[in-house]
Structure 1
Amino acid sequence: MDLKELIDSAQKLPNIPKVVQELIESFGDENISGDEIAKKISSDQVLTAKVLRAANTAHYGGNRKVGSVNDAVLILGFNAVRTLVLASGMVGVFKAPEGFDLPAFWHNSFAVASTCKWLAKFSRDDAETAFTCGMIHNIGELLIHVLLPEECIEIQKLVDRGARNSDIEKTVLGFNFPEAGAELANRWKFPESIVESIRYQLEPQAAPKFSRLAALVYIADYIVHANEKEAPDYLLANFPSELAMQLGINIEKLLERIDETKELIGGFDELLH
C-alpha cells in the first residue's frame, strides 16, 4: 500500500494543538519571542497544567517553584519549555488503539529522548533538539497501529516468532515505522533534520548526508534496550562505537558515566497523567 495515500485518506489522523504546531515551526527561528510563545501556551489550560507539573519535578525545577509559563521560560529557558510543551502536546494527541500499551510506548519514547539529550552533551549537538528526535523517533509505530490495527496483529505474530519488526512491516505493508514516522513529522512541519533523524534512525549512515541526530537516536535506543536487559556486559561489548566516534564522542568518558542513563526519565512520566 502507498504510505502517502494511506495518510491522505486517514480519518483518524491526529491533529496537534495550534500552539504545538507553532512551536514546531519555531525550530531554527532565532528571532522567536519567549514572551509571545508563553502567552500562547498559557491560553491552553491543559497544556499549561501539564507543563507546570513537569517543570516542578526534581528533574527540572529543583528547589525553585515554577508557578507560571513565564516563570518556566525564565527559569528553564525557552528551548526546555518548548520541549515540555511538545511532549505534552504529543502525548495528548493520540488515543490508544485496542490492545496497544500507550503508557509503555510513551515511557520508552521519553527514555530514548532523555538519553538522546544526555548523549548530546558528549557530541555537542543541541540537547533539546536531540530530545525532540528521541521523543518522536517511534511515532510511526503508533501511527501504524492507529491506521492499520488488523495488519498489526498479523505483523506481531511474526515478530513474536523472532522476525525483525521493521523488516516485517516493510514486507507486509510496503513501508516501515521509520518511514511512516518521517512522513508524519514532515506533515507536521518538523525541520528536515528532525524528519531525517526519524527516517534513518535504524541506519544513520544510509542517509544521503550523515545524520547526526539519527545517530544519536540509534545510540540512545541501544542504551535504553541494554539497560532494560540489565546486562552491563552486553551494553559495553556491543556499544556502537563507530557511530559514537563519527559524532566526535569521547567513548571512554561517556562509558565512565553510562550508569547515569538508568535514571534519566526524570519528570517526563508526569506528562502521561
Structure 2
Amino acid sequence: MSMANIFAESQALPHIPRVVQELIESFRDDDVNVDEISNKVALDQALTAKVLRLANSAHYGVSRTVSNPHDAIMLLGFNTLRTMVLASGVTGAFKAPEGFDQRKFWHDSFAIGALSKWIAAYVKDCDRETAFTCGMLHSIGMLLMHMVMADEIKSIDDAEAMGGKRDTLETSLLGYNYADVGAELAKRWKFPEEMQQAILQQHHPETDQPYSKLAGVIYIAKYLKEAHEKDWTDEQIIEHFPLAVAEAIGMDTTRAYADVAKTNSLESGLDSLLE
C-alpha cells in the first residue's frame, strides 16, 4: 500500500475531539485564552474525567483535589493540562487491530515522551512539554499503519522481532517508514511544522538542514530507552552516548551525564490512561 493510500482510507483515520484540535493549534498561539480552553475541555465529560484522574494522581502531587479543568490549569499550568488532554484525546482516537498490543505501544510512547522532556531540560530554548508531545507521538505513524494495513505490516513486525531495524525494513519494503506516516498525520492534525519535522527526522536528525533540535531530542530519548532495556550501567550509557547528536542540538552533556541515573525512574504520569 502506498502512503497516499493510507490517508485515502478516511474511514480508518483517527478522529480527535475538537477541543484537542484547538489545543494542538495553541502550540502556535503565544496569547492563548486559557479560560476559554478550560471551559471547552469541561464540556467533554469523558475527556474531563480522564484529565481529572490524571491531575489527582500521586505523580503530580497537587496540594488539593483538582475538581475541574480550570483547577488543573491553576495548579499544574496550561502546558501540563494541554499534555494531559492531548494524551487523553489521542489514545482514545486509535483502535488497533486484534493482536496489536496497544497498551504496550502507549506505555513505550509515554516513556519516550518522559525521556524527551528530561533531555529538553539540558537543551537551550527547548520547551519541555513540546518535547514530551513529540516524544509521545514519535511512533504514531506505526500505529496508523497497523490500523490501515495490518496484513502487510505483519512481515515487518516479524522481521523486527528477529532483530531487524524497523525504519530500514519499512523503507526497504514500502518506500516509506512510520516516521513519514507520523509526520503526515501530524500535518493533517495541524501540529506546528517544527513538530512535524521532529517526527519526520527522528531516525536521522543530522541529514536535514536546518537541524531539527526536537528530532535530536527524540533520537537521544530512543537511545536511552534502548539502553535501559539492555540494562546498561550509567557508565555504559555515557560511553556510548550519541554525542554528535547531543552537540548538534546544544545539549549540556556535562550536566546531563551527572543526572543520567535519574532516567531509570522517570514516569510520564499518563499510564493510568491505559487502565
TM-score range, shorter chain: over 0.9
Task: Give the corresponding residue for 2:255.
Answer: 253
Question: Can you list the C-alpha shifts for 1:240-270, whole angstroms capped at 9, x where unaligned?
Answer: 1121122222212111111211222242101
Tell whether the 8 Å contact from 1:48 to 1:69 is kept in structure 2 after alignment.
Answer: yes
The Cα shift of 1:162 comes to 2.7
5 Å-filtered alignment, 1:1-273, equals 1-124=1-124, 125-232=126-233, 233-273=235-275
Query: What residue ranges of structure 1 are gaps of 5+ in the alignment?
Result: none
Answer whether contact 1:10 1:147 (CA < 8 A) is retained.
no
Alignment TM-score, normalising by the size of structure 2: 0.95
* Long gaps (5+) in structure 2: none
Question: What residue identity is the alignment partner of 1:264?
Answer: L
Distance 1:265 1:135 in 2: 12
- The CA deviation string for residues 209-251 of structure 1, in whole angstroms up to 9 with x for no partner, is 1000000011111111111221124422211112112222221
Q: Distance in 1 between matches of 2:9 and 2:271?
A: 33
Residue by residue over 1:57-82, the C-alpha shift from the partner in whole angstroms, topping out at 9 and shown as x without a partner, is: 23223333212110001111111111
* SS of residue matched to 2:237: helix
Tell me how large the CA RMSD over aligned residues is.
1.4
Distance 2:255 2:148 in 1: 43
1:234 and 1:108 map into 2 onto residues whose CA distance is: 22
Residues 4 and 183, structure 1, Cα contact 8 Å, conserved in 2: no
Letter in 1 for 2:68: S
Please identify, of 232-241 and 204-213, the stretch whose mean Cα deviation from structure 2 is larger: 232-241
How many Å apart are 1:121 and its aligned residue? Answer: 1.0
Secondary structure at 2:228's aligned position in 1? helix
Moved over 4 A (4+): none
Equivalent residue of 1:16, what SS? Answer: coil
Q: Deviation at 1:96? A: 2.2
1:30 counterpart SS class? coil
Query: Matched residues in 1 for 2:164 and 2:112: separation?
Result: 23
For the Cα contact (< 8 Å) 1:120–1:130, is it kept in 2? yes
CA contact (8 A) 1:58 1:266 kept: no
Query: What is the count of residue pairs matched by the alignment?
Result: 273
2:110 and 2:268 in contact (8 A); partners too: no
In the superposition, the TM-score normalised over structure 1's length comes to: 0.96
